[in-house]
Structure 1
Amino acid sequence: MTSPYLCPNCKTNRSRYHILEQNPQAVKLNPQSGEIMEQYDSSSLDPFHLPYKGTSKRVQCGSCGLIEDEQSFIKFAESHPSNHK
């Protein structure tokens, strides 16, 4: 995290955030009970199970609670530079 953030929702928060590290787990669930029947690693997915292609990090605004990809907060800060230096 080396770039400034600005929340695209509340448009005022530049300093209070939760950094959410994503740790995806590939699983096969029992359709009736929801119980985990099998866990996969990325090299052993079955042909009908696509690998995770999402981001590794999400950000939650500490003021309004918006959760988005980190790039949303970075891009919004870039397009609205701070006047306070």
Structure 2
Amino acid sequence: MTTPYRCPNCKTNRSRFNIIQQVSHSVKMDPQSGSVVREYASNELEPFHLPYNGPDYRVQCGACGLIEDERTFIKHGEQPI
């Protein structure tokens, strides 16, 4: 998070952002009721239950509200004004 950002949507915001830290919780749910039957630690997943492999952070533009992957904001921040 030490690189400049720029919003790819409004293209003017370079200073106001919300950093959203993503924390996943692996669970098994009852298909009928939707209630959580079991919660898993990251090292005890059952077969066919893939661990989360998405981004650790998402970024929200503080001006227009767009939420995207951090890399998108970084790429637009590298472009000249």
- What TM-score range do you get, normalising by the shorter chain? over 0.9
Structure 1: how far apart are the matches of 2:34 and 2:63?
A: 34
1:4 aligns with 2:4: yes
AA matched with 2:75: K
Structure 2: how far apart are the matches of 1:35 and 1:27?
A: 10
Structure 1: how far apart are the matches of 2:31 and 2:56?
A: 27
Q: How many residues align?
A: 81
Structure 1: how far apart are the matches of 2:32 and 2:10?
A: 41
1:77 aligns with 2:77: yes
CA deviation map 1:26-76 (0-9, x unaligned): 001111111111011111000010011101000000111111111100011
1:33 corresponds to: 33
Q: Which runs of 5+ in 1 are unaligned?
A: none
Residue identity over aligned pairs, in percent, reads: 60
Secondary structure, in 3 states, of the residue corresponding to 2:78? helix
1:54 corresponds to: 54
Aligned residues: CA RMSD: 0.8
Per the normalisation by structure 1, the TM-score is 0.91
Structure 1: how far apart are the matches of 2:34 and 2:64?
A: 32
Per the normalisation by structure 2, the TM-score is 0.95
Runs of at least 4 residues off by over 3 Å: none
